[in-house]
Amino acid sequence: MLATSAFADANSETCQQKQDRINQQIEYAQAHNNTAQLKGLQTALDQAKQNCSDASLEKRRQSRITNAQAKVNSREAELKKAQDKGDGSKKIASRQRKLDQAREELKQAQEPVGP
């Protein structure tokens, strides 16, 4: 579930928030004299400043929504197939859990970009 909440956080982060988060990591790396990490973070910050736009974030969000919806559709079909075949309760419960997880991922993907 931790990965799911991290996904949600990254999904709703604006460009400014992303840059602020990288800046905090840069400060931490500087405080601990971690030059290798500092170089990578500076590159990440430069790329975020150059390439990040709210429009690109929204486009990525829409792509995640589309993918998550396709996964929900697939999981619904798998569950229906297991129910129609009369599969055992464990298999049906497993399919239901997978569907519930896919629906949660869709819900998180639908969260708007920004604060």
For 44, the 3-state DSSP assignment is helix
Any domain includes 50: yes
Percent of the chain with pLDDT over 90: 70
For helices 54-85 and 89-109, angle between their N-to-C axes, nearest 10 degrees: 160
| pLDDT over 70 (residue 20) | yes
State residue 5's pLDDT score.
Answer: 43
Does residue 58 or residue 41 have the better pLDDT?
41
- Which structural domain, as residue segments, surrounds residue 39? 2-109
49, part of any domain: yes
Q: Is the dihedral of CA 107, 110, 113, 115 positive or negative?
A: negative
Whether 36 is covered by a domain: the verdict is yes
Residue 90 lies in a domain: yes
- What is the predicted pLDDT for the residue at 14? 85
How far apart are the C-alpha atoms of 101 and 91, rounded to whole Å? 15
Q: What ranges make up the beta strands (E) of 1-115?
A: none
Establish if 33 belongs to a structural domain. yes
* pTM score: 0.65
Any domain includes 16: yes
pLDDT at 74 over 50: yes
Of 102, 76, 87, give the one whose Cα is nearest residue 4. Answer: 102
How many domains does the chain divide into?
Answer: 1
Residues 6 or more apart in contact with residue 6 via CB below 8 angstroms: none
Residue 10's pLDDT is what? 55
Tokens standing for residue 10:
């990254």
Per-residue model confidence (pLDDT) at position 84: 95
Residue 66 lies in a domain: yes
